[in-house]
């Protein structure tokens, strides 16, 4: 089984999920459950810190898109930070890198939420 660790922190009403490891078929359920729990516990404003992701497949990207849509449908904010191209190529291959809200830092994401 692939190694995946996640921890959630709350900052100014936004849940920040720090992700380390591989996001693929072997970790999909763990990833999905963590995102669901975070949304239930903290509300629709969510930031995913992908700085520790070593690989992402299309299934994981599908979950990210699902949570982005779910968050924004109820008036929440959603962002990705610390996205590393070599480990998240699937975002560029699918063209979603042009659609998903991505920022270099948490501070940039939070500033965008405040607009």
Longest dimension (CA), the chain: 41
Summarised one tens digit per residue, pLDDT across range 86-110 is 888 898 988 888 899 999 999 999 9
Give the residue among 97, 105, 24 at the shortest CA–CA distance from 65: 97
Res 1 pLDDT > 60:
no
Q: From the CA atom positions of the chain, what is the Rg in Å? A: 13
pLDDT computed for residue 88 by the predictor: 87
For residues 25-33, average pLDDT: 95
pLDDT, residue 107, reads: 95
Q: How far apart are CA 8 and CA 49, in angstroms?
A: 10
According to CATH, the superfamily of the domain at 4-114 is STAS domain (3.30.750.24)
Question: Is residue 57 within 8 Å of residue 25, measured between CB atoms?
Answer: yes
Cα 30 from chain centre: 14
Edge to edge, the sheet with strand 78-81 lists: 4-11, 14-23, 46-56, 78-81, 102-103
Is the model's pLDDT at 84 over the cut of 80? yes
Average pLDDT over every residue of 42-59: 95
């Amino acid at each position: 089984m692939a190694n995946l660790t996640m921890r959630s922190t709350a900052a100014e009403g936004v849940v920040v999920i720090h992700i380390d490891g591989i996001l693929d078929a072997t970790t999909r359920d763990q990833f999905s459950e963590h995102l669901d729990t975070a949304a239930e516990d903290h509300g629709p404003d969510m930031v995913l810190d992908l700085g520790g992701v070593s690989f992402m497949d299309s299934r994981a990207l599908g979950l990210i898109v699902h949570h982005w849509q779910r968050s924004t449908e109820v008036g929440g904010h959603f962002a990705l930070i610390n996205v590393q191209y070599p480990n998240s190529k699937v975002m560029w291959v699918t063209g979603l890198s042009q659609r998903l809200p991505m920022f270099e830092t948490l501070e940039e994401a939070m500033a965008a939420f405040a607009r």
